[in-house]
Structure 1
Amino acid sequence: MQKLTLLLIFLVSISIDAQVIYEPFSSSKLGETRELKIQLPRNYNSEEKTEYPLIIVLDGDYLFEPFAGNLDYQAYWGEMPKCIVVGINQVASRDKDLFYDKEIYFPAHEGASFYEFIGMELIPYIESKYNVSKFRVIAGHDLSANFINYFLFKDDPLFRAFILFSPDLAPEMANRVQERLTTMTTDTFYYLASAENDVTDLKEKIVNHNTQLAALNNPKVHYRFDDFKDADHYSLVGLGIPKALNEIFALYKPINKQEYTDQVLTYQEGPFKYLEKKYDDIEFFYGFEKKLVENDIKAIAAAANKLDNLDALKDLSKLARQEYPESMISAYYTGMYYEKENNMKKALQYYQSGLLLKPSDFIDKDVLLDKIYSIKE
């Protein structure tokens, strides 16, 4: 437990560099003002066209900071996209916000107003003020985790990903969610978590819910369940946040060893075509373009060399020059192509020209000089 506390403190502290805004929001649907917490990505610039996924966090009075810290940390290392995180404080209004009718088990009265507040006021407001994409995630804990399920039942759901930590499920909710996910036609992520020492009454319902969802046979639904050992109703949140985010943004991650071995090297159309497909899929899934990262260039170059695929290396060198014209990356991979083609004169020219460009994470003057001396010798 002490290690978990230290991890949360660390994650919260690293988000200081991101822009956190605390502001009141006057809602006509609720007839009152709500406190919002909004974290913008590091170096956020409203004038740029970059769009960011939107993460809505219910119970923002205690869930916002651990989410914001995790998101900022993973985005810093390129493991997931930069996101805009919005937390809704509910410390004084939780029961009425999450109220549902005891006969039909759907939001009613203040609960219905809170539901409309999120979809009809909050999201349009954030979209009008910040550069957000249409890829939206919503998260909750306990009663608020149950509440976010109601957004599944719209014909065109507002959210593409749902994160439920130990939900206090309403009657019939498990059956309704199963039926809805069975017919879902849009790629949807659904993350569910409980713990070894979770609240007993909740745990039993959650385990049964998982049994139903595990039997789903819908390729459009991306489902994961975690049952954390040595954790309880509250500590499971700190363990579940990175698990959920990793699941949702798995496709976005840079190419790792397993992906390189299992997919890049075995892709029938070659490593460069795999790279194109990966980035096309990212844009299709998340609704925004990912800038080509050096790690992926390096992986594709290694695969092309290993497979003696000169065409892939040629296409990669063109892409490197296009994406990184002022970086040593462009010169290095173009030189690599000509070296592989056995045109040492051209290779030497590009390696030498790179000495005047900006170094990257993996390529500096020493790397280029090693190539130059190797060719001259």
Structure 2
Amino acid sequence: MRFSKCLILVLSVALSSLFSSSSVFSQEESSKSASEYTMQTHVIKSKILNEERTVVVQLPKSYKANSNKVYPVIYRLDGANNLPLISSVIERLQNTNSAPEVIVVAIENTDRLRDLYPTVNEEPQGPVGLGGGGAVFLSFFEKELIPLIDKTYRTHDFKVISGASAAGVFVLYAMQARPHLFQAHLAYSPAVWWNYGAATTRTKQFIKETHTLDTYLYMNIGEESGVMRERYDELQQFILHNKPTNMTYVSDAFDGVQHDLTAVAGVFNAYHKLFMPKQMPLNALSKDVASIDAYYEKLSKQWGDNIEPPEGAVRQLGYQLVRSQNYDKAINVFIHNTKLHPNSVDAWFGLSYGYESKEDNANALNSLEHAIKLADKSYPYFDMLMSSQARLKAVVLN
């Protein structure tokens, strides 16, 4: 990706008026308009950290209207100034059914280096003697913050943690120390140079010892050089070639993008490749049509909804297979669609199209007549059904 594309994304965020960002007290709403996000601020008296911590919670636009709906949660390190970027990208994805609505929890900093680095830096090129509070900060997440969010809001068990630079190191640490606490980990330009590359060493060891890990990891880097680039590249290549079973690993490298802009450059790819679209992509379809059911079962767990395979989405898979002349596989998909949606005119019409594409006109006619039995004149393509029936009858009878 070129820097110009990043600039376009920045401008789109700058022009976005997605929500009001006025400050509020704990659990008081900053927006009550249905067209805006609702934001609430919590001040937590943390016993673990022995200090007060502020978090800003952004609720989806549909939160109040859908009182039974549950949502995945994104935990974003480094504060609420990251909310507009996340909101803009995810809302664009939502508009194409490529991402669910989410709750976003932004954690404000007090002592950033202390909390986000799990080891004290002893390397002279950095601030010597700082860091080392990562374990305590992660305990705050596990025992105080996440339970508070789950108790206060309608969440489900799909959680994302996201952060850049030092916060990216914390993201990697969370994956190692509590592998199942978060289901997705987004580390933008993680500062793995810290303390002689301790994050690289520890993450490599974790990956080496972990055989199965059902998680999503996104990492990226910009125009870094020197030991930062060396240690990042070492880690990136190791994960690429040794990732555990069931891990989804995505990485980007952005030429000409400075360190502080890697989150902006990577946020679209990070979420676009994390969230499963409601339209199942053809490359997710295996030889067995059971992969359709498996896809939507996993999608449901990610989105927090019980999403059965949509008739139109499955039919589109069949059409794509027909276009590539993979007729037998297309017919199997169309048949599966009629089993999922036995009373759908479109499902049977699609199966007829699959058979006719293979020049199996007898089965095409049988499927079409099943569709006609289900249809009435209010069906928008009723005339097309009847003309197709006449055409197929003429071919079969001859």
- Which TM class, normalised by the smaller chain length? 0.7 to 0.9
Q: Distance in 2 between matches of 1:179 and 1:83?
A: 33
Deviation at 1:167, TM superposition (A): 1.4
Q: Distance in 1 between matches of 2:147 and 2:199?
A: 28
For these two proteins, the number of residue pairs brought into alignment is 348
Aligned ranges 1:107-126 → 2 under 5 Å:
108=132, 111-126=134-149
Q: Residue 112 of structure 2 corresponds to which residue in structure 1?
A: 94
Of 167, 171, 193, the residue aligned with 2:220 is 193
Q: Residue 331 of structure 1 corresponds to which residue in structure 2?
A: 345
Amino acid at match of 2:252: D
Q: Residue 186 of structure 2 corresponds to which residue in structure 1?
A: 163
For the 8 Å contact 1:15–1:73, the answer to whether it is kept is no
Label 1:69 to 1:154 Cα distance change in 2 as closer, same or farther (>3 A): same
Q: Residue 314 of structure 2 corresponds to which residue in structure 1?
A: 297
Q: Residue 279 of structure 2 corresponds to which residue in structure 1?
A: 254
For the 8 Å contact 2:70–2:155, the answer to whether it is kept is yes
Q: Residue 239 of structure 1 corresponds to which residue in structure 2?
A: 265
Label 1:371 to 1:38 Cα distance change in 2 as closer, same or farther (>3 A): farther
CA deviations 1:34-77 (Å, max 9, x no partner) are 33232333322586544322211101243332122212221221
Q: Distance in 2 between matches of 1:98 and 1:212?
A: 23
Amino acid at match of 2:221: S
Q: Residue 359 of structure 1 corresponds to which residue in structure 2?
A: none
Q: Residue 25 of structure 2 corresponds to which residue in structure 1?
A: none
Of 60, 65, 83, the residue aligned with 2:84 is 65
For the 8 Å contact 1:61–1:89, the answer to whether it is kept is yes
Amino acid at match of 1:83: V
Q: Distance in 1 between matches of 2:312 and 2:369?
A: 27
Deviation at 1:201, TM superposition (A): 4.5
Q: Residue 374 of structure 2 corresponds to which residue in structure 1?
A: 350
Deviation at 1:158, TM superposition (A): 0.7
Q: Residue 6 of structure 2 corresponds to which residue in structure 1?
A: 4
Amino acid at match of 1:254: Q
Aligned ranges 1:1-377 → 2 under 5 Å:
4-11=6-13, 13=16, 15-16=18-19, 17=35, 19-29=37-47, 30-45=49-64, 48-90=67-109, 92-98=110-116, 100-102=118-120, 108=132, 111-154=134-177, 156-169=179-192, 170-171=194-195, 172-184=198-210, 185-196=212-223, 198=224, 200-249=226-275, 251-252=276-277, 254-256=279-281, 259=282, 264=285, 267-269=286-288, 272-283=289-300, 289-293=306-310, 295-302=312-319, 306-307=327-328, 312-320=333-341, 330-337=344-351, 340-342=364-366, 345-352=369-376, 355=379, 365=380, 367-375=381-389
Deviation at 1:354, TM superposition (A): 5.1
Deviation at 1:276, TM superposition (A): 1.8
For the 8 Å contact 2:72–2:101, the answer to whether it is kept is yes
Deviation at 1:344, TM superposition (A): 5.3
For the 8 Å contact 2:93–2:272, the answer to whether it is kept is no
Amino acid at match of 1:21: M
Deviation at 1:18, TM superposition (A): 5.2
Label 1:180 to 1:278 Cα distance change in 2 as closer, same or farther (>3 A): same
Label 1:309 to 1:253 Cα distance change in 2 as closer, same or farther (>3 A): closer
Identity of paired residues, percent? 20
Label 1:199 to 1:166 Cα distance change in 2 as closer, same or farther (>3 A): farther
Deviation at 1:181, TM superposition (A): 2.1
Label 1:338 to 1:352 Cα distance change in 2 as closer, same or farther (>3 A): farther
Q: Distance in 1 between matches of 2:330 and 2:258?
A: 52
Amino acid at match of 1:85: V
Q: Residue 358 of structure 1 corresponds to which residue in structure 2?
A: none
Which residues of structure 1 form unaligned runs of 5+?
A: 323-329, 356-364
Deviation at 1:316, TM superposition (A): 1.4
Q: Distance in 1 between matches of 2:46 and 2:335?
A: 58
Label 1:294 to 1:332 Cα distance change in 2 as closer, same or farther (>3 A): closer
Q: Distance in 2 between matches of 1:54 and 1:286?
A: 10
Deviation at 1:206, TM superposition (A): 1.4
Which residues of structure 2 form unaligned runs of 5+?
A: 20-34, 123-128, 354-363, 392-398
Label 1:344 to 1:95 Cα distance change in 2 as closer, same or farther (>3 A): closer
Label 1:64 to 1:204 Cα distance change in 2 as closer, same or farther (>3 A): farther
Q: Distance in 2 between matches of 1:99 and 1:274?
A: 41
Label 1:57 to 1:354 Cα distance change in 2 as closer, same or farther (>3 A): farther
